């Protein structure tokens, strides 16, 4: 397992596993077996891998913590952090700068959209937008009651995200906090009404089912209040048939598209 962890760490410094396989001329399927610990490389492939990454054979077999501290060049990790730093610094700066224009959106919302994992079903989740030290943050609470209740258990998901206002659009970016296996982006139209009721936009994410297809869907944020009874509100979250949801909401989130339109557009108020 130390070899597997060391190999994964080395691969992290490249844009993809496919790039590594292409450069060292090892079959991708075979290389994935090395990364999963299913198969140990032959002596000749060990030599190819070590030559490519610039390490010795005995080094790539070292205990992972020792390998990370002694063998992996510190400059590589510093370079990686340096390359990412401008993006995160810019995101923090934009978040701080835009938070003042977004304070009116602080509160609780029901989120409605056609489920990415259960086509044809409407997903209702609960959103809390709240102020943070560096700008607005939000939490998304999901409660999934499967269609086939006898075979699957009720699952809860929690997402943590940031809110940024750019060029009169509200950008929300979150990560699934429990398993860290998904990042979701939502872009909403602002509300120009004195009393916020609904926000419309698009949501981009990944299906929760085994195939995990990326997908885009129209989304509606329906304002609930500045403070709520969470337990009572959360009970209403879950999967619904279209016929069980208010017709006005269905009209707002329908994913119909004009065949002549080259793009899939959000619908405003």
Please give the full DSSP string across 199-260, using - where no structure is assigned: EEEEEEEE-SSTT--EEEEEEEEEEEESS--HHHHHTT-EEE-GGGS-HHHHHHH-----TT
d(CA 173, CA 86): 18
Mean pLDDT rounded to a whole number for the chain: 86
Indicate the range of 68-72, 101-105, 164-168, 225-229 predicted with least confidence.
Answer: 68-72
206 vs 163, residue with greater confidence: 163
Give the 3-state secondary structure of residue 6.
helix
**CA torsion, ordered 117, 118, 122, 125, to nearest 10 deg:** -40
96-253 placed in CATH 1.10.3470: no
Indicate the range of 75-79, 126-130, 186-190, 244-248 predicted with least confidence.
Answer: 75-79
Can you say whether the dihedral through the CA atoms of 202, 123, 158, 226 is positive or negative?
Answer: positive
CB distance 70 to 63 below 8 Å: no
Domain residue limits, the chain: 2-72, 96-253
CB distance 127 to 133 below 8 Å: no
Kindly state the tokens that stand for 8.
């994964």
157 membership: H or E segment, kind and range? strand 155-166
CATH topology of domain 2-72: 434 Repressor (Amino-terminal Domain) (1.10.260)
**Digit-coded pLDDT (tens) for 39-97:** 999 999 999 998 888 788 888 898 888 887 776 654 354 444 455 567 777 888 888 88
Q: Distances from the Cα of 143 to the Cαs of 63, 176, 205, in angstroms? A: 41, 13, 17
**CA torsion, ordered 170, 237, 180, 139, to nearest 10 deg:** 40
d(CA 58, CA 210): 38
d(CA 122, CA 142): 13
Indicate the range of 95-99, 103-107, 148-152 predicted with least confidence.
Answer: 148-152
Q: What is the mean pLDDT of residues 131-139?
A: 85
CB distance 146 to 154 below 8 Å: yes
209 vs 9, residue with greater confidence: 9
106 vs 68, residue with greater confidence: 106
Can you say whether the dihedral through the CA atoms of 155, 156, 160, 165 is positive or negative?
Answer: positive
Amino acid 222: pLDDT: 96
Amino acid 59: pLDDT: 86
84 vs 201, residue with greater confidence: 201
Q: How far apart are the first and last CA of the chain?
A: 54
Amino acid 147: pLDDT: 55
Amino acid 253: pLDDT: 96
**Digit-coded pLDDT (tens) for 203-257:** 999 877 667 788 899 999 999 999 999 989 999 999 999 999 999 999 999 999 8
d(CA 151, CA 54): 50
Amino acid 80: pLDDT: 47
């Amino acid at each position: 397992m130390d070899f597997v962890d060391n190999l994964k760490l080395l691969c992290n410094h490249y844009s993809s596993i496919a790039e590594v396989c292409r450069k060292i001329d090892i079959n991708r399927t075979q290389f994935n077996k090395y990364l999963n610990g299913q198969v140990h490389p032959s002596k000749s492939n060990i030599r190819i891998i070590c030559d490519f990454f610039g390490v010795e054979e005995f080094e790539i077999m070292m205990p992972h913590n020792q390998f990370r501290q002694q063998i992996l060049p510190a400059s590589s990790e510093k370079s990686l952090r340096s390359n990412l730093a401008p993006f995160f610094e810019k995101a923090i700066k934009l978040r701080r700068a835009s938070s003042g224009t977004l304070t009116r959106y602080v509160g609780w919302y029901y989120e409605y959209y056609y489920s990415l994992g259960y086509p044809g079903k409407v997903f209702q989740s609960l959103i809390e937008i709240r102020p943070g030290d560096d700008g607005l943050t939000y939490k998304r609470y999901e409660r999934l009651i499967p269609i086939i209740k006898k075979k699957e258990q009720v699952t809860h998901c929690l997402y943590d995200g940031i809110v940024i206002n750019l060029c009169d659009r509200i950008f929300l970016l979150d990560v699934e906090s429990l398993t860290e296996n998904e990042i979701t982006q939502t872009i909403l139209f602002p509300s120009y009404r004195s009393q916020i009721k609904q926000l419309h936009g698009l949501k981009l994410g990944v299906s929760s089912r085994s195939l995990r297809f990326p997908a885009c869907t129209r989304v509606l944020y329906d304002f609930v209040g500045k403070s709520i009874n969470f337990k009572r509100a959360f009970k209403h979250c879950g999967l619904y048939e279209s016929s069980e949801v208010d017709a006005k909401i269905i009209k707002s989130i329908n994913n119909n598209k004009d065949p002549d339109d080259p793009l899939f557009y959000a619908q405003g108020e």
